[in-house]
Amino acid sequence: MRQRPSPTVKSRPSAEAQQQLFAYALVLPVVLLLVGLVGYPLFYAVYVSFTNMVVGGGGDWIGLANYRYLAGSPVFTSAIWNTVVLVVVSDVFKLAIGLGLALLVNERIPARGLFRSLLMLPWAMPAFVAFLTWRVLYQPIGGGINLVLTSTGLYPGIVDWLGQRSTAMPAVIVASVWRGFPFWFVSILAGLQSIPAELYDAARVDGANAWQRFRAVTWPGIRRIVIITTLLSSIWTANSFESVWLLTQGGPSDATMVFPVLAYFGMQTQRIGEAAAVSVAMLPALLILVFMTTSLMQGDGNEQD
């Protein structure tokens, strides 16, 4: 008697494989959304930077002509220098102010909650309103800063803070620091409150003074937070448009010209190719900062796990 062959049984995916397929199905819409909203505009901007495209018309492929033009443009050189100065100097002052205020508020002082809320007001205020307010304060005639200087006798003359090269960039930096230091303050304060009090008690028992406690306990506890905050603040400051545009529009004589404003001027002159080249030229530095920030954040997550 011939034995019938046993029917083939189709193997079903394991439970783990089914969970992975379900997870991929959930993530797929988000990936498609990111590709559509981020990936496509990014690669299209890179493509446009190699063309002579203008508003309302097409463009021909011109290769590196836009980048060669920018490399020989003194305005582009000024934009590089001014962007670096704005980012570095602003971050230094934001760190100093944010760290000092965080150390103060971390102590038990009267009305600490109210003081903390007041310090967050510059960051909570819309950027448009904040920088327009600073523009009014910087006015040479009737501006609040000149009124204070003349009424107190500190400086009897009239200073055109935004109209001369020697004071335009410092004025923009002061306004940017005022607008951005609360982010540093709240980030560092969160790091300070996560440091166990037992470490400070042990340092006091060992005879460490205030500076030694800061160097041995406080700084190691907030160092990674300070680095991440620095990288995030650098990205935001380098991409900040309203801080310069509402105060000086890049002037006087390109003294405050930065990358976002230069790209906007390219759009105003309807030369989309050149404007895209300005943005793409800035992209490598921003990608490095983003990569470093993401790596540090991921490192924090792995350490906590």
**Residue 104 located in a structural domain:** yes
pLDDT of 247-279, one tens digit each?
999 989 899 999 899 988 888 878 888 888 988
pLDDT of 202-234, one tens digit each?
999 988 898 999 999 999 999 999 998 999 999
149 SS3 class: helix
**Residue 118 located in a structural domain:** yes
**Residue 47 located in a structural domain:** no
CB count in 10 Å sphere of residue 152: 8
As a three-state string, the secondary structure of 12-52 is: CCCHHHHHHHHHHHHHHHHHHHHHHHHHHHHHHHHHHCCEC
**Residue 160 located in a structural domain:** yes
Question: What's the CATH number where 196 sits?
Answer: 1.10.3720.10
54 SS3 class: strand
Domain that holds residue 117: 88-297
- What spatial distance separates the first Cα and last Cα of the chain, rounded to whole Å? 63
Tally of structural domains, the chain: 1
51 beta partners = 61
Tokens representing residue 19 in the block: 């969970």
Q: Are 232 and 290 a contacting pair, CB within 8 Å?
A: no
**Residue 224 located in a structural domain:** yes
pLDDT of residue 145: 94
pLDDT of residue 12: 66
pLDDT of residue 40: 86
**Residue 220 located in a structural domain:** yes
CB count in 10 Å sphere of residue 209: 10
The whole-model pTM stands at 0.84
**Residue 24 located in a structural domain:** no
**Residue 131 located in a structural domain:** yes
